[in-house]
């Protein structure tokens, strides 16, 4: 077979290595600054290529890219997951997607299965690419895959053994055709499933139609919370907990392994990470890249607390006016979205960067109040990723703590 790979991100590099190992013909097309010997330029000349069986694009190339749209009309575009079907790789996959909470969910699943003595790998989206692990496929029981909409949008025939959509809220509107197309990409996770596969169904997702899901459906069980004692650290992650319980039932894992996994759970960094300084609660929720994630973070805070909310980041064309519904004391916004939010929400206070917003927050905050950093957007306007952004917020807290300590000496 002959493959055209678009882009030179870590995903396509991993795919290239795999395909060459399988003695397949591979053509790489990329931007001018990435060009190496034998690579082609990512431009309209690619339309002249002959006998291309399949095209796989890097997740970083938008569906709206005018070159990609023309290629898609002429050639068969597939997802990296489809290679598992093309090369008869039958290692079972547990695949998780959704607008928020994916990384925490796959981390919990990994812990559960390891506690049950299964051999697993975790890959995709926030992790290393799937095909970085191709040499391990025959030696493991499950692939646990965290899937973004970008990884699902061109799925053509692969179907995971167990799949779930955690939630659906608008996101990535700067890279997709519409909210409808974004939701459809997520729904592709079950599109090619059979009754031998399982789909863990969240009945609260109004965009799903149960009758159109071809897999065996396992409904999340909200009564679970009455059956077991809730652990403090797991309380914000009720959806992930329900997913975990359904996997327990599908794989016949003993309940004590489930309880053990919950007891061992530790929240991942930059997800509602709390630090109290001088009776002020700082919450570092840098992983929040959508409005829904920020609303969720707000819901975890005591309703009697005065909350200063800091948001900011890259413009993803989201409906930021929805943030007006939150009962914040002050809304501080920085970065690329600052002017846009200010137009939609008149009482928002605009800053150039996070440091400026933070300094303003500590000047107006009262004792026993909350400074919530939940950006509601991606970090790529001013930071490499959400982790770098989160580290900066931590550093600002440490700097403030040092100032308070020196003032008290």
pLDDT (tens digit per residue) in 45-70? 999 999 999 999 998 898 889 999 99
Q: Are 317 and 174 in contact (CB under 8 A)?
A: yes
The CATH number given to 273-408 is: 3.90.190.20
| In contact, 201 and 210? CB cutoff 8 Å | yes
Collapse the DSSP code of 125 into the 3-class scheme (helix H, G, I; strand E, B; otherwise coil) and give the result. Answer: coil
Which pLDDT band holds residue 230 (cuts at 50, 70, 90)?
Answer: low
Report the pLDDT averaged over residues 252-261. Answer: 95
pLDDT in tens, 5-29: 999 999 999 999 999 999 999 999 9
Q: Is the pLDDT of residue 233 over 70?
A: no
159 pLDDT band, cuts 50/70/90, is very high
pLDDT for 172 equals 56
Using CA atoms, how far apart are residues 176 and 343, in angstroms rounded to an integer? 23
Hey, what are 200's tokens?
């863990």
Is residue 221 over pLDDT 90? Answer: no
- Supply the pTM of this predicted model: 0.90
In this predicted model, which residue has the larger pLDDT, 64 or 218? 218
Nearest to 169 by CA among 123, 124, 206, 212: 206
Close Cβ partners of 283 (under 8 Å, ≥ 6 residues apart): 272, 273, 274, 297, 301, 370, 371, 372, 373, 374
User: 2-74, which class in CATH?
Assistant: alpha beta
**pLDDT value of residue 405:** 84
More confident residue, 409 or 302: 302
Please write the tens of the pLDDT for every residue from 340-390.
Answer: 999 999 999 999 999 999 999 999 998 889 999 999 999 999 999 999 999
Whole-number pLDDT of residue 170? 75
Confidence category of residue 272, pLDDT binned at 50, 70, 90: very high
Pick among 3.40.1190.10, 3.40.50.280, 3.40.190.10, 3.10.20.30: CATH of 82-264: 3.40.1190.10
- Give the closest residue to 366 by CA, choosing from 286, 304, 312: 304
Q: Is the pLDDT confidence value at 193 over 80?
A: yes
pLDDT score for 240: 95
Residue-range domain boundaries for the chain: 2-74, 82-264, 273-408
pLDDT band at 174 (very low <50, low <70, confident <90, very high): low
pLDDT band at 235 (very low <50, low <70, confident <90, very high): confident
Supply the Cα-derived Rg of the chain in whole angstroms: 23
Tell me what the mean pLDDT of segment 100-125 comes to. Answer: 96
């Amino acid at each position: 077979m002959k493959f055209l790979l678009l882009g030179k991100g870590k995903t396509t590099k991993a795919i290239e290595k795999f395909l060459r190992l399988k003695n397949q013909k591979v053509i790489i097309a990329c931007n001018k600054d990435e060009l190496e010997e034998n690579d082609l330029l990512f431009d309209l000349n690619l339309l002249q290529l002959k006998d291309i069986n399949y095209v796989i694009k890097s997740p970083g190339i938008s569906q709206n890219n005018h070159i990609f749209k023309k290629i898609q009309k002429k050639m068969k575009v597939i997802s990296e997951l489809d290679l598992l079907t093309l090369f008869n790789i039958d290692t079972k996959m547990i695949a998780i997607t959704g607008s928020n909470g994916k990384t925490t969910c796959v981390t919990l699943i990994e812990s559960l299965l390891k506690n049950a003595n299964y051999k697993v790998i975790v890959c995709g989206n926030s992790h290393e690419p799937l095909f970085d692990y191709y040499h391990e496929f025959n030696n493991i029981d499950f692939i646990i895959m965290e899937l973004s909409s970008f990884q699902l949008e061109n799925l053509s025939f692969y179907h995971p053994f167990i799949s779930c959509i955690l939630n659906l809220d608008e996101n990535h509107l700067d890279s997709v055709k519409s909210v409808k197309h974004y939701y459809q990409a997520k729904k592709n996770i079950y599109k090619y499933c059979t009754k031998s596969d399982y789909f863990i169904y969240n009945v609260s997702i109004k965009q799903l139609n149960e009758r159109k899901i071809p897999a065996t459906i396992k409904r999340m069980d909200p009564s679970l919370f009455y059956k077991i004692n809730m652990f403090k650290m797991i309380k914000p992650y009720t959806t992930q907990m329900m997913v975990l319980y359904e996997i327990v039932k599908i794989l016949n894992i003993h309940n004590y392994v489930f309880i053990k996994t919950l007891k061992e759970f530790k929240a991942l960094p930059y997800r509602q990470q709390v630090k109290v300084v001088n009776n002020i609660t700082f919450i570092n929720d840098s992983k929040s890249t959508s409005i829904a994630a920020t609303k969720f973070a707000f819901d975890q805070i005591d309703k009697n607390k005065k909350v200063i909310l800091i948001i900011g980041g890259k413009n993803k064309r989201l409906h930021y006016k929805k943030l007006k519904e939150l009962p914040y004391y002050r809304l501080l916004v920085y970065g690329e979205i600052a002017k846009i939010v200010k137009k939609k929400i008149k009482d928002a206070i605009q800053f150039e960067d996070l440091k400026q917003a933070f300094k303003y927050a500590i000047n107006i905050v009262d004792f026993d109040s909350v400074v919530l950093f939940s950006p509601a957007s991606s970090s790529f306007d001013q930071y490499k990723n959400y982790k770098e952004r989160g580290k900066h917020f931590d550093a600002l807290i440490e700097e403030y703590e040092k100032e308070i300590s020196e003032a008290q000496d």
